[in-house]
Amino acid sequence: MNTIQKIGIGLLLFAITVFTFSLGLSEYQLTSESLAVSNEYHKEAIVETARQNGTLDKSFPSNVAFINSFKRTLKESQKRLAEQAKAGIPEGVSEWDFKMGDWVIKDYLFPTVKASATGLLPSNIPLFFFLTFGLGIIGGLLYVVPIFNLIPGIKNNQIYHSSLTRGLQLGWRTFFLIATIIGVVLYGVSYMNSSWFYPLLTLAIMGIIGLLVFFRDGAKGKDPAKSASPELTAWFGVVTGIYLIGFYILLYWAPQYITNWILLVDPVSMSLSGNPASQWFLYGFLYTIIVLVMGIRMMAKYQHNRYQVVRTLSVMFFQTAFAFLIPEILVRLNQPWYDFKNIWPLNYTFFFDWNINQLINSGGLGLFMLVWGIALVLIGVPVITYFFGKRWYCSWVCGCGGLAETMGDPYRQLSDKSLRAWQFERYIIHGVLVFAILMTIGVLYTYFTGSRYVFFANSDTVRTWYGFLIGSAFAGVVGTGFYPLMGNRMWCRFGCPLAAYLGLVQKFKSKFRITVNGGQCISCGNCSTYCEMGIDVRWYAQRGQDVVRSSCVGCGVCSAVCPRGVLRLENSSVDVSERTQALRTIHISENEVRLMN
């Protein structure tokens, strides 16, 4: 690491530090103007309650203190309105336009906390934007750009010796997995309004999967020799993972605590869509900046391979244009926010009633969006995957894959290559796909019939649990938070229902495969080491067998790091029905000539 790179790391760490501690650089004051409530009955009750308990116009030193006080005020106002309703609701006003439901309290909390912020950070947004995002970008580029001056080619660069990238010992990985499962289930009970049914059902299904893997598939007595478990745990990686996990928990379930971060990007949001920033705009902005900066690093690292450079430029373009800029500009033009590359079932809300109604009521463009989304699912995915495999989406277009290939690239070697991991993978990812299909069927049934119940299940409750468990906990908290702990494709490998759909087409009817020139293989293991999807590519190379796996995203890094040119990404229709044939290698001995098993 040269001097410029050290300066870059210093600036980046300084920016992250300022970004983290900026959460405490505001004071909060509830006023009638900062109260983000449009319902006049609710607003009047909240103002009167706050005046009586002395919190109106009172200054709070932190958002934690303000939020606790404001929650109490909202609950007292809810009780006040409930008592008034017993005496009679004003004529012409519906019950829940007068009374305050629990869901309304959640809606009032975040915008009011954000609007009530005063003090150092709200008064100096341009300065803190530069100290966080500005210095972070500059620091990242100072670290990345000098890599272009290195001799092209792949070097392991002590990835298994770094305390940031060598991963976790098996015991610590087990601990993090169990702690995460317990945490998600317990919080899920609260999220589902103290209902234990779906959390317990999830645990039961997980138990069944465990029994299938350990007993039916015979993994109980097998030692996962390729489980990417180092002798020493990467503690810097653990700290990084915990930071990412904490960020996602706040982003998804407690955005009121990160209003200072959201205030930083308010000017950017106003310039693009004309609206104040939400937590999702902050996330999209951060996501895009990281993909762009770390994408340049990716191109520098793999500058010797044209495929990697072009592929990285593709994910940078699709994230910036299709996932960030175009949707915001559409909102400014009074059109629905829409990501044209996001496909069901990854975009699991596409068939929700509110989305369908919004698209139908948005004129010609909205109808085009609806037809486009359906056409991608029914025609685009199978046809394009037949010709190019799932790589066309997972490695060239997808935002989740884009983040995994850029920010997650330093951790790709942490993917578990053991047979046990693959056995868990196939049950879990296809289970999520089945869950997504059943949930969507229930949602559409409700949309067309008006009935909330499909047999015994309430479709609203099912989709709420799917959004919590899969859309938030799995895709975000685990999918990205576990990058430094268990590799960069946890979500893509174990949880993404679209990846499962693409993988089924790729496995059984696609021209794509990774061809192998087995006679050139020297068993160095680079290909398996760098496979982010946990495929033991060397096993295939040693046998001279083409790699045809439903999980393979076609990133091509195994080919890029091979010193002998053993692996090639190819498309061919000659043997589509025979690609997965296991017997590929001829073994010649003194006594016989036979195909290897």
- Per residue in 515-548, pLDDT (tens digit) is 998 889 999 999 999 999 999 999 999 988 889 8
- Burial label, 178 (beta-carbon count in 10 A; 0-12, 13-18, 19+): exposed
- The confidence score (pLDDT) of residue 219 equals 60
Q: In terms of pLDDT, which residue wins out, 567 or 585?
A: 567
Question: CA dist 341 to 273, 563, 583, Å?
Answer: 20, 35, 38
- pLDDT at 1 > cutoff 80: no
Res 215: pLDDT: 83
Cβ atoms of 290 and 16 closer than 8 Å: no
Helix, strand, coil share (%) of the chain residues, nearest 5: 65, 5, 30
DSSP bridge partners of 595: 586
End-to-end CA distance of the chain: 47
| Whole-number percent of the chain with pLDDT over 90 | 78
CA distance 128 to 451: 50
Q: Determine the distance from the C-alpha atom of residue 123 to the mean position of all C-alpha atoms in its chain, rounded to a whole number.
A: 33
Q: CA–CA separation, 61 vs 212, rounded Å?
A: 53
State yes or no: pLDDT of 218 exceeds 80: no
Distance CA 97, CA 38 (A): 11
* DSSP state string for 479-508: TTTTHHHH-TTHHHHHT-HHHHHHHHHHHH
**Predicted pLDDT at 509:** 87
Cα–Cα distances (Å) from 46 to 37, 51, 55, 356, in that order, read: 9, 8, 11, 35
Could you tell me which residue, 282 or 219, shows the higher pLDDT? 282
Mean pLDDT of 584-589: 61
> Of the ranges 17-26, 135-144, 150-159, 424-433, which one carries the lowest mean pLDDT score?
150-159
Whether omega for the bond prior to residue 122 falls within 30 degrees of 0, making it cis, is no
Task: Give the up-direction half-sphere exposure of residue 357: CA atoms within 13 A in the CB hemisphere.
Answer: 6
574 pLDDT band (50/70/90 cuts)?
A: low
Residue 56, classed as helix, strand or coil, is: strand
Using alpha carbons, list the distances in angstroms from residue 63 to 22, 28, 124: 12, 7, 18
| pLDDT (0 to 100) of residue 518 | 80
Confidence of residue 580 (pLDDT cuts 50, 70, 90): low
Domain architecture of the chain: domains with CATH: 27-118 (no CATH), 156-253+337-509 (no CATH), 511-595 (3.30.70.20)
Return the pLDDT at 519: 85
Q: What is the mean pLDDT of residues 424-432?
A: 95
User: What is the mean pLDDT of the segment spanning 38-47?
Assistant: 93
Q: What is the pLDDT of residues 448-484, one digit of tens each?
A: 999 989 888 999 999 999 999 999 999 999 999 999 9
pLDDT confidence of residue 576:
58
The string of pLDDT tens digits covering residues 320-359 is: 999 999 999 999 999 999 999 999 999 999 999 999 999 9
User: Residue 465: CB partners within 8 Å, gap ≥ 6?
Assistant: 188, 192, 198
**82-123 confidence digits (pLDDT tens):** 999 988 888 888 888 999 988 888 899 999 999 999 999 999
Residue 402 makes CB contacts below 8 A (sequence gap 6+) with 291, 295, 315, 316, 318, 319
- DSSP-based three-state secondary structure for 516: strand
**Taking a C-beta distance cutoff of 8 angstroms, is the pair 593, 587 a contact?**
yes
The tokens describing 3, both together, are 């001097």
Under the banding of pLDDT at 50, 70 and 90, the label for residue 55 is: very high
Average pLDDT over residues 552-566: 93
Task: Examine the pLDDT at 220 and tell me if it is beyond 70.
Answer: no
pLDDT of residue 91: 86
Residue 440: both structure tokens together: 């969507």
- For residue 464, give both structure tokens: 């709420």
pTM score of the predicted model: 0.92
For residues 161 and 233, the answer to whether their CB atoms sit within 8 Å is: no
Q: In terms of pLDDT, which residue wins out, 529 or 587?
A: 529
Given a cut of 60, whether residue 597 has pLDDT beyond it is no
What's the pLDDT at 231? Answer: 75
Q: How would residue 225 be classed by pLDDT, with cut points 50, 70 and 90? A: low
Instruction: Give tens-digit pLDDT for 167-188.
Output: 888 888 889 999 999 999 999 9
Q: What's the DSSP call for residue 561?
A: T
Separation between Cα atoms, residue 487 and residue 493, nearest integer Å: 10
- 417, 534 contact by CB (below 8 A): yes
As a residue count, the chain comes to 597
Strand partners for 513:
570
Per-residue confidence (pLDDT) for residue 159, from 0 to 100: 83
Say how far apart CA 152 and CA 568 lie, in whole Å. 19
Planar angle of CA 53, 57, 60, nearest 5 degrees: 85
- In angstroms, how far apart are the furthest CA atoms of the chain? 100
Chain center to CA of 355: 21
pLDDT at 573 over 70: no
Nearest 5 degrees, angle CA 166-CA 168-CA 173?
150
Alpha-helical (H) ranges within 450-578 are 459-466, 483-486, 490-494, 497-508, 526-530, 537-543, 557-560
Q: Write down the mean pLDDT value for the chain.
A: 91
Nearest to 81 by CA among 115, 37, 46, 56: 46
Question: What confidence tier does 234 reach under pLDDT thresholds 50, 70, 90?
Answer: confident
Local confidence band at 2 (pLDDT 50, 70, 90 cut-offs) = confident
DSSP collapsed to 3 states, 256-288? HHHHHHHHHCHHHHHHHCCCCCCHHHHHHHHHH
pLDDT tens, position by position, 392-417: 999 999 999 999 999 999 999 999 99
pLDDT for res 121: 96
For position 335, what pLDDT does the model report?
95
Dig out the tokens for 36 from the structure: 């983000």
Note the pLDDT tens digit of each residue in 361-387.
999 999 999 999 999 999 999 999 999
- pLDDT reported for residue 222: 57
pLDDT in tens, 278-312: 999 999 999 999 999 999 999 999 999 999 999 99
- CA distances (Å), 288 to each of 105, 208, 267, 268, 447, in order? 32, 39, 16, 13, 34
